[in-house]
Amino acid sequence: MFDHILLNIVLLLIITVGLVSISRRLHLPAILNYILVGVIVGPFGFGLIQSEKSISFLAEFGIVFLLFSIGLEFSLTQMMSMRRMVFGFGGLQVLMTGLVVFGVSYLLGFGVETSVVIASAFALSSTAIVIKQLTEQSEIQTRHGRATVGILIFQDIMAIPLLILIPALGTAAGQSLPTELGMAFLKGAIVVVVMLFAGRYILRPLFHEVASSKSQELFTLTVLTVVLSAAAFTEEMEISMTLGAFLAGMMLGETEYRHQIEADIRPFQDILLGLFFITVGMMISPELIQTHFLTIMAITLSIMLVKTIVIFGIMRLFQKPDGVSLRTAVSLSQVGEFGLVLITLALTYELLPHQLGQILLTSAVFSMVATPFLIKYNGRIANRFCRKSYQNDFAEMESVIKEDTKFLSDHVVLLGFGRVGQITAKFLEQAHVPFVALDMDIKRVHEAQQSGEPVYFGDSAKHSIIHATNISKAKVAIITFHDYHAAIKTLKTLQDVAPELPVLVRSLDDSHINELTQAGATEVIPDTFESSIMLASHLLLMIGHPPSQVLKQTRAARRGRYNLLNGLYPGESDHVSFDHAQMGQIIQPITINESAFAVGKRLEAFPMETLDLYIKSVRRGSVRGDNPDLKTRIRVNDILIVQGLPENIDKFEHYLNTGKI
């Protein structure tokens, strides 16, 4: 109906806006909206756009930005720290799932190339959907969350050879397959080497110069140039351009500009990725779904069941609890974005019959649509099928907290140990007031515990976890996180467990004061209220208002106390500005292993001034020494509590291990 590309795009945007607005109210996944738009406007729907070719070039950019962002999330450091999960769990998962799917496909009469494509696509899961959902549920740092991330990292690694393999299989028709594959992987190796070289010697210095200019426009333009240049380079090498984007993301993910880059490409990625899923929807035929509905559902349920069984079995092989194993398996049971990319690539190179490709795409999409709901209720699923193991996990967590807090009385229960929680804890320490803190960021909890802080992983909305903090003998509780809905749940729990306990609640503004008070808050302290007091005080002083002695003392006390804002334990959700001048200092514990260069060295020998760092304390066993003597010699398993800028702490940790900055 509409052949002009601009009219096509306008039409898509109008329909998309309408559907997204409706689905947001119904809390439906965004991917479902885009696919539904594609079905409606495509040649198999109302035929408003007869061919997807008119927007396919924009959709290809969507894939490029998707894989670039996945590459940004990939971390070599994280991969090495989780190598057992990555190469153990992840390697076995991809291998076993691939073998099972390949075997079934081959037995069903498909050729070797077709079976390889199906196995490759179905072995991979959705990094974007799974990470997003786990993050929103504060489960990314739980045991099943870390196992899930480890497997996804290996899947992302495997995407590199698979993105080389599919085009090679497609161009090998009538030629020697081993020769064609050998040439493809040789080209791939060259591309990887070139990208690694560019990342280390070109991209990092380039972004350092761009960031120093403090021009947001130049920074964004540079990001776009790098993404598209990497994609163009691999396409010129006759390899999928998505591989170049993924590798470019990996290289930039190792720099200190990662979070700023993510923020800059987000608008482009979301829009273009939406177009990609629209084109996927345009390839789905409602008539085909109606005709082959049972086949599509059988494939969808079969692959999700196979992946769940395989992953559960692998986790149990590594002696993980049943509950953790099942939650991990359920979270990874779907087919992912890489799977869609591989299927569309296979259709482009005619490795799949068109109808089979449509059926596989539809099955993959169905599995992705089900994923947010499965992850949302993964705890209930585990509790249903692995009740004993699931409940034992919480019992173990509670017993640790109970044991450590059983002698506490007149203490403060800190619920949330982010920036506000940590600053509050430092005030309490200075006043010699005992406290216990709960937080859902396991990285932050682990690093705080290494520093000797009484911080524990736990959900403050659970009655048993709150009971474990010896809440009956506490003097006050304070909710420091700014999530209004989480605060309401926690208040209801506190009302059930300790209705007479005073509760202070932090909020971002005063919009929910009444609701929080009605839910049981004794006092609600809005961030905007406190900042307004400070702003007004400074204003009065600047215009010459004569301050009283009390005001002078208050100002002096606040000025001194605000030094506490420097040096916080970072969590996974904390972001760092790309402007070095605005980067906040953090505290990070560094453990000295047996092979570290620092063993036997004195603190005075370390380049603290060069890196602008401060060693707050040294922990040896259960003893923590604050402001350590510079003559102190470092031993194996010592933990150095270091304060400074994140990038300088990374350099210092490298120095401690190798002796080189």
Where are any strands of DSSP class E within 498-560?
503-507, 523-526
Same domain, 51 and 144: yes
If one compares 110 and 624, the residue with the highest pLDDT of the two is 110
> Quick one: what percent of the chain has pLDDT higher than 70?
82
The answer to the question of residue 540 being in a domain is yes
Residue range(s) defining the domain that contains residue 539: 526-565
Name, in order, each residue with C-beta under 8 angstroms of 372's C-beta and a sequence gap of 6 or more: 29, 129, 133
Residues listed for the chain: 661
Considering 99-113, 156-170, 262-276, 500-514, the range whose residues carry the highest mean pLDDT is 99-113
Same domain, 421 and 330: no
Phi and psi torsions of 593, nearest 5°: -95, 175
Tokens encoding 25: 């109210």
The answer to whether the CB of 513 falls within 8 A of the CB of 507 is yes
pLDDT score recorded for residue 583: 46
Tokens encoding 236: 């010129």
pLDDT score recorded for residue 101: 95
CA–CA separation, 14 and 263 (whole Å)? 25
The answer to the question of residue 217 being in a domain is no
> Is residue 212 predicted with pLDDT exceeding 70?
yes
pLDDT score recorded for residue 561: 38
> Is residue 2 predicted with pLDDT exceeding 60?
no
Average pLDDT of the residues of the chain: 81
> Quick one: what percent of the chain has pLDDT higher than 90?
22
Confidence of residue 557 (pLDDT cuts 50, 70, 90): very low
Angle between helix axes 258-282 and 216-236 (nearest 10 degrees) is 50
Residue 525, SS3? strand
Confidence of residue 203 (pLDDT cuts 50, 70, 90): confident
For every residue of 106-128, DSSP letters joined together read HHTT--HHHHHHHHHHHH---HH
Say what the pTM is. 0.66
What stretch of H or E contains 640? strand 639-644
Same domain, 147 and 23: yes
pLDDT score recorded for residue 449: 85
CA–CA separation, 443 and 453 (whole Å)? 13
Same domain, 147 and 32: yes
Which whole number is the average pLDDT over 174-182? 66
Same domain, 378 and 421: no
Handedness of CA 504, 508, 513, 518 (dihedral sign): negative
Neighbours of 167 (CB within 10 A): 21
First to last CA, the chain: 63
CA–CA separation, 59 and 354 (whole Å)? 19
What stretch of H or E contains 615? strand 614-620
Same domain, 38 and 97: yes
CA–CA separation, 547 and 544 (whole Å)? 9
The answer to the question of residue 351 being in a domain is yes
Residue 237, SS3? coil
Same domain, 604 and 545: no
CATH of the domain at 413: 3.40.50.720
The answer to whether the CB of 329 falls within 8 A of the CB of 313 is no
pLDDT score recorded for residue 149: 83
Provide the CB-side half-sphere exposure for 553 (13 A, CA). Answer: 3
Same domain, 67 and 146: yes
The answer to the question of residue 255 being in a domain is no
Confidence of residue 582 (pLDDT cuts 50, 70, 90): very low
Confidence of residue 332 (pLDDT cuts 50, 70, 90): very high
Q: Which amino acid makes up residue 642?
A: V
Same domain, 345 and 440: no
Angstrom CA distances, 518 to 282, 331, 416, 488, 510, stand at: 50, 37, 21, 10, 14
Q: Which of 158, 134, 138 is nearest to 148 (CA)?
A: 134
Same domain, 516 and 530: no
Angstrom CA distances, 588 to 328, 439, 568, 591, 625, stand at: 29, 17, 8, 10, 16
Phi and psi torsions of 470, nearest 5°: 60, 45
Name, in order, each residue with C-beta under 8 angstroms of 560's C-beta and a sequence gap of 6 or more: none
- Number of domains present in the structure of the chain: 4
C-alpha 508, offset from chain centre: 24
Name, in order, each residue with C-beta under 8 angstroms of 120's C-beta and a sequence gap of 6 or more: 98, 162, 165, 166, 342
pLDDT score recorded for residue 396: 67
Q: Residue 584 gets which letter from DSSP?
A: P
CA–CA separation, 221 and 218 (whole Å)? 5
Residue 601, SS3? coil
Angstrom CA distances, 369 to 29, 64, 180, 359, 647, stand at: 7, 22, 37, 15, 39
The answer to the question of residue 182 being in a domain is no
CATH of the domain at 648: 3.30.70.1450
Same domain, 550 and 645: no
Phi and psi torsions of 524, nearest 5°: -115, 125
pLDDT score recorded for residue 562: 42
C-alpha 619, offset from chain centre: 30
CA–CA separation, 278 and 101 (whole Å)? 27
Same domain, 590 and 553: no
